[in-house]
Homo-oligomer: A and B are copies of this chain.
Amino acid sequence: MPSFPATSQRLTDRKRSAIIEAAIDEFRLSGYETTSMDRIAARAGVSKRTVYNHFPSKEVLFAEILHHLWQAISGGEELAYRADRPLRDQLLELIAQKFRLLNDEAFVSLARVAIAAGIHSPERAHDMVARMSEREEGLTVWIRAAAAAGRLKTNDPVFASHQLQGLIKGFAFWPQITLAQPPLDAAAQKQVAETAVDMFLAYYAL
């Protein structure tokens, strides 16, 4: 029976976690270029050599972190279209789900780091945003179903979905990413969500 030190696993695992956490903080704070491996090591309370024993290069460490943050936010339970409930209620629930993501510290971190790093690295940006837009599929699927059921008048669900998201993200995503603004408070979220949905339905509902 291993008498491991109270809180957690093997030393090497704790070190590894500390490095990843420190790296997330540093990259988030300073971006990829201006973050040094020495600072990451220092913040992690770990020797620089240990960082390199775990991760062969800064690039790899960075990729690991993107992967790590990605895991942290992968919990999207698709909401299916239902004929027996008002469109408005269903849309509000879909938006609420989106807000949970947008309020998620991990998600915003990921987005900030990814966009900051990717803005001058097309292939990485492409990969990143491609994966992010997968998370936007749910809404499109719902709209397509509602249209097929004859409750919405659109033959371009992807476009309509982007519109609705534009109405949300303009308030609750881009300002937070580019200006590091705090997430919307509950009242603002309510206003943004309800007005967006009502505007959307005013145009698309049959």
Q: Which residues of A contact B (CB under 8 A)?
A: 29-31, 33-34, 112, 115-116, 118-120, 122, 125-126, 129, 159, 162-163, 165-171, 174, 177-180, 191, 195-196, 198-200, 202-204
Contacts and interface: CB of A to CB of B under 8 A. Distances in A.
B163 A170 contact: yes
Contact of A119 (B165, B178, B202, B203): B178
A203 B31 CA distance: 41
Contacts of A165: 170
Contact of A33 (B33, B169, B191): B33
7 contacts: A122-B180, A163-B195, A165-B170, A169-B174, A195-B203, A199-B202, A199-B204
A113 to B, nearest CB: 10
Given A115-B119, A202-B202, A171 B166 contact: yes
A16 to B, nearest CB: 26
A29 B126 CA distance: 16
Contacts of A118: 178
Contacts of A120: 29-31, 34, 116
B170 A129 contact: no
A170 B162 contact: yes
A198 B163 CA distance: 12
A59 to B, nearest CB: 14
Contacts of A177: 119
A150 to B, nearest CB: 19
A31 B179 CA distance: 17
